[in-house]
Amino acid sequence: MNGLVNPVVGTLLRSPVHRLASRRLILLTVTGRRSGVDHTFPVGYRRTGDQLLVEVGWPERKVWWRNLDTPSPVWVV
């Protein structure tokens, strides 16, 4: 399901009408810790002051967040 929905949401978040979704979603790009390949996907977030808190739903079913075990740069759209 994510393989179908993520590209659509990503296109929406990069478009001029991104305000429809950007109140709750951002595009996060992380670099694979072993592969070195960049991966971009939509994630839910909450703003706390100057920080963005990314909420990982069903973390036991996801692996991308493990790339952030050590401090590393991420890119946000």
| Residue range(s) defining the domain that contains residue 24 | 2-76
Nearest-5° Cα angle at 7, 55 to 63: 40
- Rounded CA separation 69/77 (Å): 21
pTM exceeds 0.75 for this model = no
How many structural domains comprise the chain?
Answer: 1
Contacts 24+ apart (CB under 8 A), 55-64: 64/30, 64/39
pLDDT of residue 3: 65
Q: How many CA atoms lie within 13 A of 61 on its CB side?
A: 4
Per-residue pLDDT of the chain (77 residues; tens, 9 = 90+): 566 667 767 676 777 766 666 677 888 888 888 888 888 888 888 888 998 888 777 778 777 777 777 777 888 87
CA 24 to chain CA mean position, Å: 11
